A = this chain, B = another copy of it.
Amino acid sequence: MFQLLRDGQPRTRAELAQLTGLARSTVTARVDALMRVGLIAPVGGATSTGGRPPSLFALNPAARLVVGADLGATHALVVVADLSGAVLAEERAELSIASGPDSVLGWLCDAVARLLQEAGRRAADLGAIGIGLPGPVEHDTGRPINPPIMPGWDRVDVPGLVQQHFKVPVLVDNDVNIMALGEQAMAWPETADLMLIKVATGIGAGIISSGQLQRGAQGTAGDLGHVRVPRGDGVACRCGNTGCLEALAGGPALAAALSADGKKAYSSQDVIDLVRSGDLQAIQAVRQAGRDIGDVLATCVNLVNPSVIVVGGRLAQAGEHLLAGIREVVYRRSLPLATEHLRIAPSVAGQRAGVLGAVSLAIGHVLSPEAIEAAASA
């Protein structure tokens, strides 16, 4: 019943009675309980229609706080947000994930403490913490599993470490997965089948199907970086194989290709700068990268049949060129049935997709029926 109020839309008791089919008195009782806990709050401004004006109330976003953290390979972003997903305070740091769990999570906990103070709230107001990590994660336990770029993190009990400082549920997931959640929360709330493609140093996909994040048997679902593409024959990849998508269309690969042509491009950012400055070669390279990615995505579209593909990650910020390349191939190669209603759109959240997804994950936990039940009965 409370789930009706999750959207944050104000309702009246009479409306709820109508929607749930319960008696008005029952609705009143439950509303009272939720009000006492503070999860819902009255909101003024109800106009009478000839009688006593109804009293509106809605989810109280300030009832609890959540933390969202996006820990990347070389940088980290942490925010404190309310239950509506509005960011109250944030902190960014250049921080190498390779410095290990103790160092990184230590910084994280310190940052959370600072952000709470900045927001003028206390640790007791925290409802949950969501964390995104750049590698495979066993979501049920919150442990990274054989992460390639996170030395020292293998099977570390991340929730346990964080809970030494904050005694709240800690939800950990892959960074691409939480980006997918973030984009869905921001831009596609009605879409149950969404696929997010992150194109940066690596290339990965986060899949939301039937409204549920698909993590796969070992939590490695969506790893598209090392799929073989025909055009890549013979190109060596850091993974040891050849012909990987990442070795062809990843940021470092593009930079290398351009610098071989005499351009000054050593990083993904340089590639983007070149594109923005109108460099034709760079534009062509990015567009071709889009085509290569599209080649793989065409298969993915046929396989999972999403209704939206969101393209995010650093390289997606190089204008429409990447998107154009992807669209070009996907719409040509995928089945008409699957592409008929398929939209391919740029990321809305951009660099904040990850952290917003972590927030969304945490909010989802705080507002889950079980958590609400526990809060209301306590």
Task: Enumerate chain A interface residues (CB-CB to B < 8 A).
Answer: 136, 145-146, 192-193, 205, 207, 209-210, 212, 214-224, 226-228, 230, 239, 241, 295-296, 298-300, 302-307, 333, 335, 337-338, 340-341
Contact = CB atoms under 8 A, between A and B. Distances in A.
Nearest to A194: B217
A220 B226 CA distance: 25
Contacts of A192: 217
B305 A303 contact: no
Nearest to A307: B217
Contacts of A302: 220, 222-224, 226-227
Contact of A303 (B146, B304, B338, B341): B304
B214 A299 contact: no
B335 A223 contact: yes
Contacts of A146: 337
A136 B337 contact: yes
Contact of A210 (B215, B304, B338): B215
A230 B299 CA distance: 13
A303 B223 CA distance: 6
A338 B226 CA distance: 11
A218 B299 contact: no
Given A221-B304, A303-B207, A216 B193 contact: yes
A289 B217 CA distance: 27
Nearest to A296: B299
Contacts of A228: 295, 298-299, 333
19 contacts: A136-B337, A145-B337, A193-B216, A205-B303, A209-B216, A214-B214, A214-B304, A217-B341, A220-B335, A220-B337, A222-B302, A222-B303, A223-B302, A226-B335, A227-B299, A296-B299, A300-B303, A303-B304, A304-B304
B210 A214 contact: yes
Which 3 pairs across A and B sit closest by C-beta, in order of nearness? Answer: A216-B305, A217-B307, A230-B230
Interface centre among A215, A304, A340 (most CB of B within 10 A): A304
A17 to B, nearest CB: 23
Given A210-B215, A296-B299, A338 B223 contact: yes
Given A136-B337, A192-B217, A239-B335, 10 more contacts: A216-B304, A216-B305, A217-B305, A217-B307, A218-B338, A223-B303, A226-B335, A228-B295, A228-B333, A303-B304
Nearest to A308: B217
A146 B336 CA distance: 10
B337 A223 contact: yes
Contacts of A299: 224, 227-228, 296, 299-300
A303 B209 contact: no
Contacts of A145: 337
A229 to B, nearest CB: 9
B218 A337 contact: yes
A192 B230 CA distance: 32
A372 B208 CA distance: 30
A305 B220 contact: yes
A374 to B, nearest CB: 17
Contacts of A305: 215-223
A263 to B, nearest CB: 30
Contacts of A217: 192-193, 305-307, 341
